[in-house]
Amino acid sequence: MTFPRFRLADVCDINPRLPRTHGITDDTLVSFVPMAAVDELTGTIATSQSRSFAEVKKGYTSFRENDVLFAKITPCMENGKAALAQSLVGGVGFGSTEFHVLRAGPQVLPEWLRYFVRREEFRREAKRNFTGTAGQQRVPTTFLSGAEIPVPSLDEQRRIVDLLSRAEGIVRLRREAQRKAAEIIPALFVDMFGDPATNPKGWPVTTIGSLSSYTRYGPRFPDRPYAAEGAHILRTTDMGYSGDIHWSDAPVLPVTVDELEKYHLRPGTLLVTRTGATIGKIAIFRGAEEPCIAGAYLIEIGFQAQVIPEYILHFLLSAFGQSQLVRGSRAVAQPNINAPTICAIPIPLPPLEIQARFAASVDQLRAAQGLQESAMAKAEAIFNSLLAQVFSRDDQRAATRLEEAAVA
């Protein structure tokens, strides 16, 4: 058995206009929601502003409480910017003209619509129907109007929405736990070493260059095709913003024995992105199951025995360290930084045993973060799977499986 399916245009108003007899005066405060205020991870309005009606009545999209906002433009749509408009000032809101607005009719719940358009499958289909030029492609209203949505009874919708909300709540809790865990290491650094900008513990000050054993720019391998075997060539995109490296995502190039001997990365090497929008990304190469080589847009820095690389990493990740990197970048066609500039950065040098205690604590915290990430990935996979099942063609059976999964 399947639920009856209807076109979205048959069960909701798409981009309804503000009635002429709205009764809102120019000095009335209303909610204002720019595109940036919609969180693509949670599918919620993370922040909103209050503005007078006079400021927003022209040139913005209007909506009201419990309308669904769906980003129409690339890449916001693909990223999942869709949310339920709630807690609006005066029950009315205005926002980006790049929102489509869906207003639920009597046959569907607003939450049901939100879950329907948040699905990856729906977004993929919407992308296939883009119109416009590159960089300015949008989801046309005609696509939304004709998209088919399953419509069970309202009681059944409430039951399924409740189950999906619980699954989504688990994802939200996991994400919050991740966020809090990410704050622990920077706080530990300041607790053990003090703010490096003021050096309140009076550690002797040296430079990064005086602690390094070598610096090198990543090699270039022009016109060499990717292969199944060889070495992973780490790119700026393979480096995170918190000191991690996703080496398994990096492409593989064939390399000679001599090239591998010369360029392969050794554990403890600091990597810094040196140009472009990702300038100043920093990570420690901690080793990998397969050989890795730094790409051409990375700077390698090795260190002597009197410093532990983990300390250097988190010094450079601190607000002071980041400010020194930014100050040292030069803008020509695009910002860039070089090895001598990094080596000239002043750094307090605490005793090696304190650095070692910090590194040991970081190892323990990273292990805990790894468990958090695994739990987060599992929770997201379960939620996305349930979401896909609910709106599949075999809706009734999917709804049953959803309830069984919730009970389990």
Omega before 75 cis (within 30°)? Answer: yes
Neighbours of 291 (CB within 10 A): 15
Mean pLDDT of 146-172: 93
- Per-residue pLDDT tens digits for 297-306: 899 999 999 9
- Per-residue pLDDT tens digits for 31-62: 999 999 999 988 899 988 999 999 999 999 99
Fill in the amino acid letter for 161: V
Mean pLDDT of 349-372: 92
pLDDT above 70 coverage of the chain, percent: 93
Partners of 252 in beta bridges: 232
Does pLDDT of 193 surpass 50? yes
Sheet holding 212-217, edge to edge: 212-217, 298-303, 269-273, 282-285
Mean pLDDT of 347-360: 96
Q: How confident is the model at residue 396 (pLDDT cuts 50, 70, 90)?
A: low
pLDDT at 373: 85
Mean pLDDT of 269-282: 82
pLDDT at 143: 96
Mean pLDDT of 147-153: 95
3-state secondary structure of 52: strand
Q: Which DSSP string do the residues of 66-121 spell out, in sequence order?
A: TPEEEE-BTTHHHHT-EEE--S-GGGEEEE-TTEEEEEE-TTS-HHHHHHHHHSHH
Least confident interval from 73-82, 149-158, 323-332: 323-332
Mean pLDDT of 241-246: 81
In degrees, rounded to 5, the angle at the alpha carbon of residue 120 between the alpha carbons of residues 99 and 85 is: 35
Lookup result for tokens 């810094």: 272
Question: What's the chain's average pLDDT?
Answer: 89
Q: State how far the Cα of 296 lies from the Cα of 251, in Å rounded to an integer.
A: 13
Greatest mean pLDDT among 320-329, 344-353, 399-408: 344-353
Burial letters 200-227, b for 16+ CB under 10 A, else e: eeebeeeebbebbeebeebeebeeeeee
Q: How confident is the model at residue 408 (pLDDT cuts 50, 70, 90)?
A: very low
Mean pLDDT of 309-335: 82
Residue with more model confidence, 299 or 390 = 299
Note the pTM of the prediction, 2 decimals. Answer: 0.73
- Per-residue pLDDT tens digits for 362-382: 999 988 888 888 888 898 888
pLDDT at 352: 95
pLDDT at 1: 54
Mean pLDDT of 339-368: 94
pLDDT at 391: 87
Q: How confident is the model at residue 337 (pLDDT cuts 50, 70, 90)?
A: confident
Does pLDDT of 292 surpass 60? yes
Least confident interval from 56-70, 248-262, 322-336, 348-362: 322-336
pLDDT at 407: 45
Neighbours of 249 (CB within 10 A): 11
- Per-residue pLDDT tens digits for 98-116: 999 999 999 999 999 999 9
pLDDT at 216: 93
Residues 6+ apart with CB under 8 A from 124: none
Does pLDDT of 331 surpass 90? no
Q: How confident is the model at residue 401 (pLDDT cuts 50, 70, 90)?
A: low
pLDDT at 135: 73
